[in-house]
Amino acid sequence: MAYPDLTRSLDPAVLGLVGLTPLLAVCTTLVSGLAMGLAYLAVLSLTGVTVSFTRRFIPGRTSVICLLLVSAAWVSIVDVLMQACCYALREQLGMYLYLLAMNTTLLLHLEASPLRHTFGESVPAGPGTALTGAVLLTVTGLLRELAAGGGILTDVHLLARVEWLDFLEAAYLFRGGLHLFDTSAGAFIIYGLVLAALSYCFPRMAGRGSATR
């Protein structure tokens, strides 16, 4: 099967960036980007921990199916919690929340790390990958909101049921904006600019994958 060879031949950082792209469609504001980012962080981290502890019981031939079932279970738990805490925000994310279970990054990352290493060896690298993805989704949502609507927290009403966030209010910095950034093409433009900025500011991180091979 060529799947394990794919995980070894491609840079994990590249897999992570590609795997996040389906989630960009719903990251149109700071609130939605942060919500999807936190969900991504939770699912990736919790699934990694679960697989690390149970890797001895996972057959090698059906490892991908087992990983999918574990990740889908955690996505379902996150879904229920979001519905209980902030139903309106959960509805805003829609079907894209379920894409976490089929996310290429999730499957390939778990196939290469928790299944082949112990909990202590695989966990230190997991949160870094998940946190990077969460930050990218949040920043992309924030920049799209600014570029398209000229404000921040424009959909803060989605958090109305969260009492300890009552102090948050929408802030408009300027009127108007470019409708382009409300579209999928705008999401990819913003995402590309964010990645370019990160590569410029942190060139060592961009070249770390190729330097280690």
**What does each C-alpha distance from 107 to 147, 161, 180 come to in angstroms?**
33, 33, 32
37-50 residues labelled b (16+ CB within 10 A) or e (exposed): bbbbbbbbbbbbbb
* Burial zone of 130 (CB within 10 Å; 0-12 exposed, 13-18 middle, 19+ buried): buried
Q: Can you give the pTM of this predicted structure? A: 0.80
pLDDT digits (tens, 9 = 90+) for 133-162: 888 899 999 999 999 888 898 888 888 777
**Residue 170: phi, psi to the nearest 5?**
-70, 140
pLDDT digits (tens, 9 = 90+) for 89-98: 999 898 889 8
183 DSSP assignment = S
Predicted confidence at residue 7, as pLDDT, reads 45
pLDDT digits (tens, 9 = 90+) for 122-137: 554 456 677 888 888 9
Predicted confidence at residue 32, as pLDDT, reads 93
Token duo for residue 74: 């955690």
Predicted confidence at residue 6, as pLDDT, reads 44
Token duo for residue 93: 């994310």
In the predicted model, residues of the chain with pLDDT beneath 70 are 1-16, 60, 104-128, 203-213
Predicted confidence at residue 76, as pLDDT, reads 94
Predicted confidence at residue 82, as pLDDT, reads 92
